[in-house]
Amino acid sequence: MKKVLLVGAAVTTVIFGGVTIAWASTDNQEAITAEQALKTAFAQADGFIEEVDLSFEEDDHYYEVEIESRTGEYEFQVDASTGKLLKSQDRTKEDAEEYDDTHYPNKPANLTSFTEYSTVVEQVDTNGLTFHLEKDNPGSRIMFLVNGDKEKQYKIIYKKEEHFLKIIDLMENDQVYSGFIS
Protein backbone atom coordinates (compact mmCIF):
# COMPACT_ATOMS: atom_id res chain seq x y z
CA MET A 1 0.00 0.00 0.00
CA LYS A 2 1.32 3.44 -0.83
CA LYS A 3 0.10 6.80 0.40
CA VAL A 4 0.95 9.73 -1.81
CA LEU A 5 1.59 13.18 -0.43
CA LEU A 6 1.14 16.15 -2.71
CA VAL A 7 3.74 18.77 -1.92
CA GLY A 8 4.08 22.31 -3.26
CA ALA A 9 7.48 23.87 -3.88
CA ALA A 10 9.38 25.00 -0.81
CA VAL A 11 12.89 26.09 -0.05
CA THR A 12 14.83 25.16 3.05
CA THR A 13 15.38 28.82 3.87
CA VAL A 14 11.61 29.16 4.14
CA ILE A 15 11.11 25.75 5.68
CA PHE A 16 7.63 24.47 4.96
CA GLY A 17 6.25 27.98 4.38
CA GLY A 18 4.82 27.03 1.01
CA VAL A 19 4.25 23.34 1.61
CA THR A 20 0.80 21.93 1.15
CA ILE A 21 0.24 18.34 2.12
CA ALA A 22 -2.81 16.26 1.23
CA TRP A 23 -3.20 12.66 2.38
CA ALA A 24 -4.53 10.13 -0.08
CA SER A 25 -5.72 8.05 2.86
CA THR A 26 -6.79 8.83 6.42
CA ASP A 27 -5.45 5.79 8.32
CA ASN A 28 -2.34 7.62 9.53
CA GLN A 29 -0.36 5.46 11.98
CA GLU A 30 3.08 6.99 11.48
CA ALA A 31 5.12 8.12 14.48
CA ILE A 32 6.62 11.07 12.58
CA THR A 33 4.98 13.54 10.23
CA ALA A 34 5.91 14.33 6.65
CA GLU A 35 7.34 17.64 7.88
CA GLN A 36 9.72 15.78 10.21
CA ALA A 37 10.78 13.50 7.35
CA LEU A 38 11.46 16.61 5.23
CA LYS A 39 13.62 18.09 8.00
CA THR A 40 15.69 14.90 8.02
CA ALA A 41 16.12 15.07 4.23
CA PHE A 42 16.92 18.81 4.31
CA ALA A 43 19.70 18.09 6.81
CA GLN A 44 21.35 16.21 3.92
CA ALA A 45 20.57 18.54 0.97
CA ASP A 46 19.07 21.98 0.35
CA GLY A 47 16.68 22.69 -2.48
CA PHE A 48 13.12 22.35 -3.66
CA ILE A 49 10.83 19.51 -2.67
CA GLU A 50 10.00 17.46 -5.74
CA GLU A 51 7.96 14.71 -4.12
CA VAL A 52 7.14 13.10 -0.78
CA ASP A 53 5.57 9.62 -0.70
CA LEU A 54 4.68 7.43 2.24
CA SER A 55 5.48 3.80 1.31
CA PHE A 56 4.57 0.57 3.02
CA GLU A 57 6.55 -2.63 2.44
CA GLU A 58 5.61 -5.59 4.66
CA ASP A 59 6.32 -4.38 8.21
CA ASP A 60 8.35 -1.33 7.15
CA HIS A 61 6.98 2.06 6.27
CA TYR A 62 9.04 5.03 5.25
CA TYR A 63 8.86 8.39 3.53
CA GLU A 64 10.48 8.74 0.15
CA VAL A 65 11.66 12.33 -0.26
CA GLU A 66 12.98 13.80 -3.52
CA ILE A 67 14.82 17.13 -3.43
CA GLU A 68 16.17 19.10 -6.37
CA SER A 69 18.74 21.85 -6.02
CA ARG A 70 21.06 23.72 -8.31
CA THR A 71 23.77 21.19 -7.50
CA GLY A 72 21.79 18.02 -8.04
CA GLU A 73 18.83 15.74 -7.51
CA TYR A 74 18.57 13.62 -4.38
CA GLU A 75 16.36 10.83 -3.05
CA PHE A 76 16.03 9.92 0.62
CA GLN A 77 14.20 7.24 2.57
CA VAL A 78 13.24 8.24 6.11
CA ASP A 79 11.84 5.69 8.56
CA ALA A 80 8.23 6.74 9.32
CA SER A 81 8.45 5.31 12.85
CA THR A 82 11.80 6.66 14.05
CA GLY A 83 12.62 9.53 11.67
CA LYS A 84 16.06 8.05 10.97
CA LEU A 85 17.59 8.31 7.52
CA LEU A 86 17.50 4.83 5.96
CA LYS A 87 18.91 5.54 2.51
CA SER A 88 20.20 8.47 0.47
CA GLN A 89 20.91 8.56 -3.22
CA ASP A 90 22.47 11.27 -5.39
CA ARG A 91 20.64 10.89 -8.72
CA THR A 92 22.76 13.60 -10.35
CA LYS A 93 25.73 11.25 -10.78
CA GLU A 94 23.51 8.52 -12.21
CA ASP A 95 21.91 10.95 -14.67
CA ALA A 96 25.31 12.26 -15.80
CA GLU A 97 26.55 8.73 -16.48
CA GLU A 98 23.52 7.99 -18.69
CA TYR A 99 24.34 10.69 -21.24
CA ASP A 100 27.20 11.46 -23.54
CA ASP A 101 28.75 14.66 -22.20
CA THR A 102 29.26 16.22 -25.65
CA HIS A 103 25.68 17.52 -25.58
CA TYR A 104 22.80 17.95 -23.17
CA PRO A 105 19.98 15.44 -23.74
CA ASN A 106 16.45 16.18 -24.90
CA LYS A 107 16.84 19.57 -26.51
CA PRO A 108 13.34 20.24 -27.94
CA ALA A 109 13.26 20.74 -31.71
CA ASN A 110 9.96 22.65 -31.77
CA LEU A 111 10.65 24.90 -28.78
CA THR A 112 9.18 28.11 -30.20
CA SER A 113 5.84 26.37 -30.75
CA PHE A 114 5.43 25.70 -27.01
CA THR A 115 2.70 27.86 -25.48
CA GLU A 116 4.93 28.90 -22.58
CA TYR A 117 7.99 29.78 -24.69
CA SER A 118 7.30 33.51 -25.17
CA THR A 119 6.56 34.04 -21.48
CA VAL A 120 9.75 32.22 -20.48
CA VAL A 121 11.96 34.38 -22.72
CA GLU A 122 10.20 37.51 -21.40
CA GLN A 123 10.86 36.52 -17.78
CA VAL A 124 14.35 35.00 -18.06
CA ASP A 125 17.49 36.00 -19.93
CA THR A 126 17.98 32.80 -21.94
CA ASN A 127 21.24 33.91 -23.61
CA GLY A 128 23.86 31.21 -23.09
CA LEU A 129 21.25 28.76 -21.76
CA THR A 130 19.89 25.65 -23.43
CA PHE A 131 16.36 24.30 -23.01
CA HIS A 132 16.23 20.70 -21.78
CA LEU A 133 12.90 18.87 -22.02
CA GLU A 134 12.53 16.71 -18.92
CA LYS A 135 8.90 15.60 -19.28
CA ASP A 136 6.15 16.24 -21.81
CA ASN A 137 2.83 14.48 -21.44
CA PRO A 138 -0.82 15.47 -22.03
CA GLY A 139 -1.09 17.12 -18.60
CA SER A 140 2.18 18.96 -18.13
CA ARG A 141 5.60 19.81 -19.48
CA ILE A 142 8.76 20.27 -17.42
CA MET A 143 11.89 21.85 -18.86
CA PHE A 144 15.17 23.13 -17.49
CA LEU A 145 17.35 25.96 -18.70
CA VAL A 146 20.92 24.69 -18.53
CA ASN A 147 24.16 26.70 -18.75
CA GLY A 148 27.29 25.81 -20.74
CA ASP A 149 28.65 23.78 -17.80
CA LYS A 150 25.47 21.64 -17.94
CA GLU A 151 24.20 23.07 -14.64
CA LYS A 152 20.45 23.56 -14.28
CA GLN A 153 19.69 27.25 -13.83
CA TYR A 154 15.88 27.41 -14.12
CA LYS A 155 13.04 24.94 -13.85
CA ILE A 156 9.95 25.56 -16.02
CA ILE A 157 6.69 23.81 -15.14
CA TYR A 158 3.71 24.22 -17.46
CA LYS A 159 0.29 22.73 -16.62
CA LYS A 160 -1.30 22.44 -20.05
CA GLU A 161 -5.02 22.21 -19.23
CA GLU A 162 -4.90 25.12 -16.78
CA HIS A 163 -2.42 27.13 -18.90
CA PHE A 164 -0.48 27.70 -15.68
CA LEU A 165 3.25 28.42 -15.77
CA LYS A 166 5.80 28.41 -12.99
CA ILE A 167 9.46 29.38 -13.46
CA ILE A 168 11.92 28.70 -10.62
CA ASP A 169 15.44 30.13 -10.40
CA LEU A 170 17.45 27.18 -9.07
CA MET A 171 20.54 29.31 -8.42
CA GLU A 172 18.69 31.73 -6.14
CA ASN A 173 16.09 29.22 -4.87
CA ASP A 174 13.43 31.73 -5.85
CA GLN A 175 10.28 31.79 -7.93
CA VAL A 176 10.61 33.99 -11.00
CA TYR A 177 7.08 33.63 -12.37
CA SER A 178 3.86 31.94 -11.35
CA GLY A 179 0.63 32.57 -13.21
CA PHE A 180 -1.82 31.79 -15.95
CA ILE A 181 -0.85 32.41 -19.57
CA SER A 182 -2.81 32.30 -22.82
Helices (H), 31-143: 34-42, 91-98, 117-123
pTM (predicted TM-score): 0.48
- Is CATH 3.40.50.920 what the domain over 2-95 is classified as, yes or no? no
154 touches 167 (CB < 8 A): yes
29 touches 53 (CB < 8 A): no
Q: Domains of the chain: which residue ranges?
A: 2-95, 111-180
Each residue's pLDDT tens digit, 20-74: 343 434 344 568 999 999 999 888 888 888 889 898 887 788 999 998 877 778 8
